[in-house]
Structure 1
Amino acid sequence: MIVSQVKQWGTDTFIAPLLLLGGLVLGYWSVFQRLMITWDSGDNSYGYLVIPLFLFLCWEKRDSFRFGQFSWSLAGVAVTLLATLLLLVGEAGSMETLVFLGIWGCFVGITAALYGKRLKVLLFPLLILLFIVPLPAFLNRTLTFQLKLLASYLAAGMLRVSGVSVLMDGNILDLGVSQLQVVDACSGLRYVVPMLLMSLLIGNFFLASRWRQAVIVALAIPLTIVVNALRIWITGLLTVNDLARFTEGSFHDSIGLVMFLASGALLIWLALLLRGGSPAPPISLPPAESQQVNPLRALVVSLVICALFLAGGWALPRLQATQHVSPPRSSFDSFPMQLGPWQGTRHFLSREILDALWSDDYVSASFVKQDSGNVIHLLIPYYTYQGTRHTAHAPQSCLLGSGWAVLQTKERSFPAAAGQDLPVTTLELKKGQERMLSGFFFLGRGRVVTSPWRNKFYLVLDSFTKRRTDGALVRAEMVVAPDQPLDAAYRELAQFLSLLWQELPAYVPGDEVGNASK
């Protein structure tokens, strides 16, 4: 009786695949919850459509791909093990994107275990499934910022051709009667990733040639820019003709959806042109291999993969704050508001900003130097521990989101106390006629780190070797005076950071915080 049940387990029953999926969901339910929270944001809501699309693409192959015939390949165990390690590293290093990639890798591991070499037939559905992983916010903002400026530039040209006087100042279009700030939500560039997804699907359904499919995918981003320039142009025309009420609320959202659908329709038309009117030939699938599967191997592979899921799910919460050391420190409530010639005024952040900052303590202040008139805005969030939704993140995405264009990014060394050099990532930014210098570095556990990626690496390392992930982001921004040379502005920023460095050891614990090192 037991032998026959084991044989049935490894042949034509779907009990084992359901067990694998159940183990994945049970082990990583907290990760799925976080993934759905991310999908609930406006830019990532397309994520809810990805799994149905994946299932549909698999269902399309039901007649030629024997989904009920399993290979129980040991390669699936190896893929699942690597995905589990990726997930744990992402959790330890507070890299949520790696955690979500680990979930996708677990799906790939299940598929590899079930179908072995036949996995290559399902590569495209698995590629589509990869879209469950949202882009990191800073990468999304960095990629779309220049696209947003291009859309604004095209829209400004179209408005001038239409007889509307417009002055473009960064991502702000001054129409005289009103100003339009082209942010991601109203430029339509939040549809960049969904457009890439749509272009892949259109290429798959309408075109057989790989190069033609690549052309359709390559056209997705330029088409998004052009179509959304049209949207900005329409918004500008409505505004100058005293019809601004039609650019707000549900009508505004409807225009975005219509433009997205129009882009999809245009991509389909382009695909039909590339196809030349002839239908795409059916893709021949290799027949399922007729081989005898060892039923014991099927049972072992299933149990090992499920054990990996449950072990990974058990380990995740144990990488969080309850297992980490939180060294003593002074509260930022006592942070001095006088740093040499710089006189500070403390600010308090709103609840909305604090929720996005995730910090356990912070200081926010504006420091003024009377003789030069320069003002430096200081923000230092501190974290007693760092996890995927409780971590310091580089300020580029915030600056880009507020309309600043990055002209240059460079790592510089500023003089610190006792003849030491302090490494700082500096950014030269511009918004309209305003110029700003920004400097930041990550500080924690005896290290100064300028690279966000290197900071993540040390978070993983110190999580296991020191049982510590505490640390802070030190961020200072200074608006450059209209007639002030950049060299002089950098000297002012360097002086401030040197004075600031002397105060930090009391508030950000480290092995030897005074020894700055990259």
Structure 2
Amino acid sequence: MYDTARAPVNWRMPLAFLGFLLLAILVLYAQTASDMVAIWSRSNAYSHGFVVPFITLWLIWRIRHTLAALQPRPSSSVWLLMLGAASLWLAGDLVAVNAATQFALVTLLVLSVPALLGWQVAATMAFPLGFLFFSVPIGDFMTPHLMEWTADFTVMALRLSGIPVYREGQQFVIPSGSWSVVEACSGIRYMMASVTVGALFAYLSYRSFIRRLLFICVAILVPLVANWLRAYLVVMIAHISGNEIGIGFDHIVAGWVFFGLVIFAMLFIGARWSEEWMPEPAPAEASSSSDGKSLKLDGGYSSLLATAVALVIVISPYPVLHVLAMGGNTVPVNLAVPQLQPGWQIAALLPGNWEPVVQFPSAVAHTGYLGPQGQVVGMHLSYYRQQDYQRKLVSSGNRLIKSDDEHWAQLPGNREGVTVAGQPLSVATVTLRQQGAGLSSISQRLQVWRWYWVNDRFTSSDAMAKILGALSRLTGRGDDGAIVVLYTPLNSQLLEAEARASATAVLRDFLQAHGGALEAALRQTRGRD
């Protein structure tokens, strides 16, 4: 009978080296691991990350008998993949992208298994190792789309119910009151929990790949539809009860209770087609050449060599970072503002009681301008230097308004093709509406353009700004960058389309006059070429 208290002799040395390598990776990338745990702690959408490592270990323990029959052999073919993961971490750290560094960390942990135990062992542990990626808090990029879909369904369902609705962006008004679809209404929390539980349930309940895949697809669709129904029911209950039920704490409790019932029903129905789970039979012991490029050394020497090479790979990003840090600009930022062009002057007041939300900039300038025909334009510059994971140019925390802003609402936007200092730019443009007057047409509205300046280039793409920032650091030019926001009020005396066209013309005129001066001011601020 197999003794579960002790590992087979041929496993003891490889397991010892594997444990050492995993510990070394966690120590070397402790800050990345700590940031991931911090996200688990503060975000309900990713709190399941605390249990994912323990579930992974439990899943591996369940197949220990199958694994014991295999012969662990280090595989050198994994080294290139580990180097790619380490490079991904380096690229993510250069531009402070948590998703990239955290994904790379988990990838290094997973690849350590085939690196020291071989591909045959890793293939047997494929799902447990893959399940570990559920600990990576990735998914916030879906939130705007989920919010839009929730608003679309809720408004459609209300109209089908005979309730008149006036919608503008993510805000809508019905006879009993006004509502807004915010980030908490997106359903991202429900989806993350459902997909994680659904994948685990599919693995444990089915042996057929098709059934597993179908159930995971159901686990993705169910929280989507459930969240839409939840939002609709909350609004309906509040409407019918005269806003006595379904708001505030009732809103939150009802959401989780409804979601819990839906997930329970999904698992209950899915269990009707469950298949008895059993470990797959252990494959016959492979020859030394059956595991790809397995190391041919005997005993612990092959494990020692594989561990040493893996350690060199996981350490490799740090010397690169040290060299790049030596070329960073540490001089305090003295933010220059664009020189006034003929016909324009500094306005006594800003063109609206608003400013964008930016986190930890190195310097900020917010100026109002008055044009020759009475045009009013505001420009907000947020400059960044010596960026890190808290103070960074491209961040979800840098936005035009807060998600729960009580004074301003952001309406759906589009893109506008412009030229800035001779550089073509597709600028992101949105309309902001003041909340004080509800959805009234007399509430103040602002036409807003927003883009980045990085490495002497203008771009409105978050991804391109990150790439330009990484290239700037790699070429020794530092990590300086800026957010540029240009805005002007909409004329309330004009029809909506006419007011937006007029505002666009005002911003174009200002940018045509000051584009070169803006670029010169940003270069002057950077202070070196």
Q: TM-score range by the shorter chain?
A: 0.7 to 0.9
Report the TM-score when normalising by structure 1: 0.80
Structure 1: gaps spanning 5 or more residues: 1-6
CA distance in 1, matches of 2:397, 2:153: 21
Q: Please tell me the residue identity of whatever aligns with 1:508.
A: L
Aligned residues: 492
Is structure 2 residue 507 aligned with structure 1 residue 504? no
Shift of 1:360: 1.0
**What fraction of aligned residue pairs are identical, expressed as a percent?**
17
1: CA distance between counterparts of 2:220 and 2:369? 42
Deviations 1:87-115 (A, max 9, x none): 11111133222111210111122111133
Partner Cα distance (1:114, 1:497) in 2: 58
Q: Aligned pair 1:144/2:149, yes or no?
A: no
Instruction: Give the match's secondary structure for 1:131.
Output: helix
Displacement after TM superposition at 1:243 (Å): 5.8
Answering whether residue 251 of structure 2 is matched by residue 247 of structure 1, we say no
Paired residue secondary structure (1:468): coil
Per the alignment, do residues 493 and 53 of structure 1 end up closer, same or farther by CA in structure 2, a change over 3 Å counting?
Answer: farther
Offset at 1:296? 0.8
Whether contact under 8 Å (1:13, 1:68) holds in the other structure is no
2:300 matched residue in structure 1: 295
Assess, with a 3 A threshold, how the Cα gap between structure 1 residues 133 and 437 changes in structure 2: closer, same or farther. Answer: farther
* Greater relative CO (CA pairs within 8 A, separation 6+): 1
1:330 and 2:344 matched: no
Counterpart CA distance in 1 for 2:387 and 2:335 is: 18
Distance 1:409 1:175 in 2: 30
Partner in structure 1 of residue 103 of structure 2: 101
For residue 123 of structure 2, what is the aligned residue in structure 1? 120
**Contact 2:363–2:383 (Cα < 8 Å) also in 1:** yes
Is residue 454 of structure 2 the alignment partner of residue 444 of structure 1?
A: yes
Q: How far does residue 116 in structure 1 lie from its aligned partner after superposition?
A: 1.6
Q: Assess if the C-alpha contact under 8 Å between 2:346 and 2:370 holds in 1.
A: yes
Matches within 5 A, 1:277-288: 279-280=275-276, 282=278, 284-287=280-283
Cα deviation, residue 8, structure 1: 7.3
Once the two structures are superposed, what CA deviation does each residue of 1:284-330 show, in whole Å capped at 9, x if it has no partner? 2543736675421111111222343344456657755x750246763
Give 5+ residue unaligned stretches, structure 2: 1-7, 289-297, 434-438
How far residue 511 of structure 1 moved from its aligned partner, in angstroms, is 10
Offset at 1:397? 8.2
Distance of aligned partners of 1:271 and 1:407 in 2 relative to their CA distance in 1, 3 Å threshold: farther
Q: CA RMSD, aligned part only?
A: 4.0
CA distance in 1, matches of 2:371, 2:427: 22
Structure 2 residue corresponding to 1:134, chosen from 133, 137, 151: 137
Map Cα deviations across residues 221-241 of structure 1 (whole Å, 9 max, x no partner): 442233223322342244331
Seen in structure 2, the aligned counterparts of structure 1 residues 226 and 430 have a Cα distance that, compared at 3 Å, is farther
Counterpart CA distance in 2 for 1:429 and 1:21 is: 50
Alignment of 1:470 onto 2:480: yes
Q: Would the aligned equivalents of 1:344 and 1:365 in 2 still touch at CA under 8 Å?
A: no
DSSP 3-state at the match of 1:423: strand
Q: What do residues 386-417 of structure 1 show as CA deviations (whole Å, max 9, x unaligned)?
A: 3343221278984694764535335x12364x
**Of residues 426, 429, 436 in structure 2, which corresponds to 1:427?**
429
TM-aligned CA deviation for residue 283 of structure 1? 5.5
Q: Are the equivalent residues in 2 in contact too, given 1:131–1:197 (CA < 8 A)?
A: yes
Verify the 8 A CA contact 2:367 2:380 in the aligned structure 1: yes
Q: Assess if the C-alpha contact under 8 Å between 2:415 and 2:426 holds in 1.
A: no
Q: Evaluate the alpha carbon distance shift between residue 437 and residue 36 of structure 1 in structure 2; reply closer, same or farther with a 3 A threshold.
A: same
Q: Contact 1:424–1:439 at 8 Å: present in 2 too?
A: no
Aligned 8 A contact 1:166 1:175 in 2: yes
Q: Secondary structure at the match of 2:418?
A: strand
Question: Does the CA-based 8 Å contact 1:65-1:285 persist in structure 2?
Answer: no
Q: Secondary structure of 2:190's match?
A: helix
Most deviating of 389-398 and 91-100: 389-398
The 1:509–1:333 alpha-carbon spacing in structure 2 relative to 1, beyond 3 Å, is closer
Give secondary structure in 2 for the equivalent of 1:111.
helix
More helix by share: 1
- Aligned equivalents of 2:353, 2:385: Cα separation in 1: 20
Determine the C-alpha separation between the residues in 1 that align with 2:209 and 2:71.
Answer: 29
